[in-house]
Amino acid sequence: MIDYIIIGAGLAGCVLAQNIANKLDKKVLIIEKRNHIGGNCFDYKDENNILIHKYGPHLFHTDNREVVEYLSQFTSWDIYNHEVLAYIDGKKVSIPFNFNTLYEVFPESKAKALEDKLLQNYEYNLKIPILELKKSEDKDLAFLADYIYDKVFVNYTAKQWGMKPEEMDTAVTARVPVFIGRDNRYFNDNYQMMPTNGYTKMIENMLNHPNIKIMINTDFKEVCSLENEQFYLFDSKFDGKVIYTGQIDELFDYKFGELPYRSVDMKFETVEKEFYQEKATVNYPNDYEFTRITEFKHIHPTKSDKTTILKEYPQEYKIGKNTPYYPIFTATNQENYNRYLEYSKEFKNLVLVGRLAEYKYYDMDDIIKRALEVFDKEIYEQN
């Protein structure tokens, strides 16, 4: 007997499975298309004995203590503060753009003048989205905003999304704000750390419960079907809750058209030296076809005379050809998503959670928080 079906073994699905199994003592079946659990957080030790993130760098950072306490049941942590450099005009400089970057890219007197100007206009430790700074009427600040926009954002965003920063939801570029201060870290959150033995191990621990069964290598359409608002599991009516974490357009057979996603071709390389670059990630806004290079040894220190790097080549998502990583945030796409969302409300026992099902740019901590809330409000309270 199965009480809940969960489609997708990423963070959203696994957090819900763990809660249902432990707090409700109900039986869960997780159906996963890939040959592994963990969704895009999946990590494993490669041939160089380096723990790599198969679907691109996943750095855990949060201000949410509840999320940390929840995950700490399944892993211990290693402190890790992510730092990123950007390759600009032949130099690697600190990103997010901050006071240190000013002195790295401009002569000292000019950097000092711009620093003073920023401090006259903004509070210390403030974060300003580039599209906000661009509205500045002060001529020095407008110069600086144009410089940062041109050197850091416009070309990177063209590669990553095929769009200009202002064509997208402002929240996207606001993820990497200009920082009024000297903190070179990519994130400012209170908690910045990595699960000691990786995400896959942490998620395996979450799922280690007799109430949880997992089918990997299984497209949910091989075992489930949907007819006249009714779910079927192996041809029998299924009246329990179905928690769906995949693409919402795929669930409903693209009835309102395909929702666009951005994909990335992840190209790993072994380099025959101890370290390849100074920091875990170097962004290449203006050069090469890839957006960034990540060297995993900096994230999970490993003794080895070789190193593994990852180059990310963004590309259009094509059904069946590559992986949908990012929803694309334009007003039109959001409207199309809303049509699916409205339609989904006709299915009383369907719960949608996750980056793909909700068409949202969730970070890992956001999705854990969201899954815990869904459990409390839509599952626990209704049980």
Q: Does 175 participate in binding ligand UDP (rule CB under 6 A)?
A: yes
Minimum gap (Å) between residue 349 Cβ and ligand UDP: 32
For residues 73 and 170, which CB has a smaller minimum distance to ligand UDP in the complex?
A: 170
DSSP state for residue 56 in the 8-state scheme: S
The two tokens of residue 102 are 């000013």
Residues 122-161 that bind ligand UDP (CB under 6 A): 152-153, 156-157, 160
Angle between the N-to-C axes of helices 11-23 and 199-207, in degrees from 0 to 180, rounded to the nearest 10? 30
By rule CB under 6 A, what string of x and - marks binding of each residue 233-262 to ligand UDP? ------------------------------
326 φ, ψ (degrees, to nearest 5): -125, 130
Query: Which residue among 283, 294, 307, 308 contacts ligand UDP (CB under 6 A)?
Result: 283
The window from 20-28, 40-48, 104-112, 168-176 that contacts ligand UDP (CB under 6 A) reads 168-176
Question: In a 10 Å sphere around its CB, with 0-12 CB exposed, 13-18 middle and 19+ buried, how is residue 186 labelled?
Answer: buried
For residues 176 and 178, which CB has a smaller minimum distance to ligand UDP in the complex?
A: 176
Which residues, in sequence order, are CB contacts of 184 under 8 Å at separation 6+?
83, 94, 98, 100
Q: Does 179 participate in binding ligand UDP (rule CB under 6 A)?
A: no
Minimum gap (Å) between residue 172 Cβ and ligand UDP: 5
For residue 181, how many C-alpha atoms fall within 13 Å in the half-sphere facing its CB?
A: 14
Helix (H) or strand (E) holding 51: strand 51-53
Q: Does 367 participate in binding ligand UDP (rule CB under 6 A)?
A: no
| Site size with ligand UDP, rule: CB under 6 A | 13
CB 104 within 8 A of CB 151: no
Q: Does 285 participate in binding ligand UDP (rule CB under 6 A)?
A: yes
Angle CA 324–328–288, to nearest 5: 75
In this structure, which amino acid lies at residue 299? I
Q: Report which residue's Cβ sits closest to ligand UDP.
A: 156
For residues 7 and 154, which CB has a smaller minimum distance to ligand UDP in the complex?
A: 154
Minimum gap (Å) between residue 379 Cβ and ligand UDP: 28
Query: Which residue among 19, 40, 136, 173 contacts ligand UDP (CB under 6 A)?
Result: 173
CB 262 within 8 A of CB 333: no
DSSP, collapsed to helix, strand or coil, labels residue 102 as: helix
Minimum gap (Å) between residue 80 Cβ and ligand UDP: 15
The two tokens of residue 84 are 């990123």
For binding to ligand UDP (CB under 6 A), which residues are involved? 86, 95, 152-153, 156-157, 160, 172-173, 175-176, 283, 285
